[in-house]
Structure 1
């Protein structure tokens, strides 16, 4: 496992913390492999119901560690393969994922944020694509996903100029859910994670899948997909438990099936 990333479970929230502040938490291959392995482990862990991702120091993440990328050998997995595998898993992760953006989120750091369901940012945080500053083309969603998260002209400004924008601006554009004082960031994300952990893991997983896929469907197809998922959900323990708890005026005990 990498020494540049740490893992901790607080309550039912699994925390991934990038711990490479001197390198602005740039993503190395061993970091990515460690995080991917932990995501798979927590996916099967019923005690972990929510995922939170943050960094240490002045940056959330400055992107891929290009210094350590090296030239790939023919047929070998390279850094791009590893980062795409991590991003693909994070996007469709069956549990809610919260980005706790403590500082600069640039290039692959911004693309990491784009993979998350909720984004809580410290007041000092800034967001930028930054690939154009070094003649690098994005490969994790910078050009493909950013225009779906913020207005297209804002996305193009960020892509073309390489400039970073403050958290409050990104909240106004719709990428960030909340902006909080720097000192309150981790506590606020933990509180949101605790709240989500009380919900039915099954209903959150099904909601996330339908919401993720709705943008690639017509409205009619998305509604049909939602109705089909509801039909499946009607057979679940969690729905029956939720209705019983409502009738009995008590807190439900969801099991996730």
Structure 2
């Protein structure tokens, strides 16, 4: 891996973007390596959650503009397309936590938004600045922002391209937690450990229900959630937890008599 660093901390895989000289600008190689790292642990039950980070100066400033040097309007959606790499992120079944600091711009913001949770340093600065180049976000930015923030706030951020702070992002509901500089990665790892204590099947089912439900009608989403509930109920972890709970309650009742 040339553009990312990997560290296994079972049950966590830590992926660190590693183009510091380019402020972690995203190129095709970086997306390929992120995809390969995710596919490598997709079926690995020892890894239950992924933490994706950069460095204190920059999570990522976005797409490496050099990518467009050899692209044309005809090749951009074909031979130069990177959509399949982003789809791996968007459909990855295990939880992804972004731990961000410094610049979280453009494609870097889209990379963070492709994750399920975002822990931010109070120095993080976010922006969707593609409009300044006569472009729009192309890796889910408009859709993530519109679905998470609503039409009007998404319009403002995308059409102005303005920078906003970690505290603003928290107030919007765009990030999960904001912590002092220097603590954001530790906080993301603590959150990952807390989540990883629970049943992997239940974690995956909960993620799928939360992501898929808003795309359905209320009735369809309720049926889908119930189907996932039935599937998790049949797992050994759930059956054992139910038995342990009932046994503990019986013991408490007996000791009180």
Same fold (TM over 0.5): yes
3-state SS, counterpart of residue 64 of structure 1 = coil
Q: Map Cα deviations across residues 104-152 of structure 1 (whole Å, 9 max, x no partner).
A: 1111111111111111100000111010111122111122221111242
Aligned to 2:69: 70
Aligned to 2:30: 31
Aligned to 1:174: 173
Matched, 1:103 2:102: yes
| TM-score for both structures, normalised by structure 2 | 0.90
Matched, 1:243 2:242: yes
Aligned to 1:225: 224
| C-alpha distance in structure 2 between counterparts of 1:118 and 1:162, whole Å | 23
Aligned to 1:160: 159
| C-alpha distance in structure 2 between counterparts of 1:13 and 1:232, whole Å | 25
Q: Is the contact between residue 49 and residue 201 of structure 1 (CA under 8 Å) also seen in structure 2?
A: yes
Matched, 1:52 2:54: no
Q: Is the contact between residue 20 and residue 56 of structure 1 (CA under 8 Å) also seen in structure 2?
A: no
- Note the residue ranges of structure 1 that are not aligned, 5 or more in a row: 250-257
Aligned to 1:41: 40
From the CA coordinates, give the structure whose radius of gyration is larger. 2
| Count of aligned residue pairs for this structure pair | 245
Q: Is the contact between residue 56 and residue 182 of structure 2 (CA under 8 Å) also seen in structure 1?
A: no
Point out 4+ residue stretches in structure 1 off by more than 3 angstroms: 72-76
Q: Is the contact between residue 61 and residue 103 of structure 2 (CA under 8 Å) also seen in structure 1?
A: yes
| C-alpha distance in structure 2 between counterparts of 1:113 and 1:57, whole Å | 15
Aligned to 1:255: none
| C-alpha distance in structure 1 between counterparts of 2:84 and 2:247, whole Å | 45
3-state SS, counterpart of residue 142 of structure 2 = coil
Q: Is the contact between residue 98 and residue 115 of structure 2 (CA under 8 Å) also seen in structure 1?
A: yes
Q: State the Cα distance separating 1:212 from its structure 2 match.
A: 0.7
| C-alpha distance in structure 2 between counterparts of 1:40 and 1:155, whole Å | 32
1:81-120 pair list within 5 angstroms: 81-82=81-82, 84-120=83-119
| C-alpha distance in structure 2 between counterparts of 1:194 and 1:65, whole Å | 33
| C-alpha distance in structure 2 between counterparts of 1:198 and 1:20, whole Å | 32
| TM-score for both structures, normalised by structure 1 | 0.90
Q: Comparing 89-98 with 231-240, which one deviates more in the overlay?
A: 231-240
| C-alpha distance in structure 1 between counterparts of 2:87 and 2:160, whole Å | 27
| C-alpha distance in structure 2 between counterparts of 1:65 and 1:34, whole Å | 15
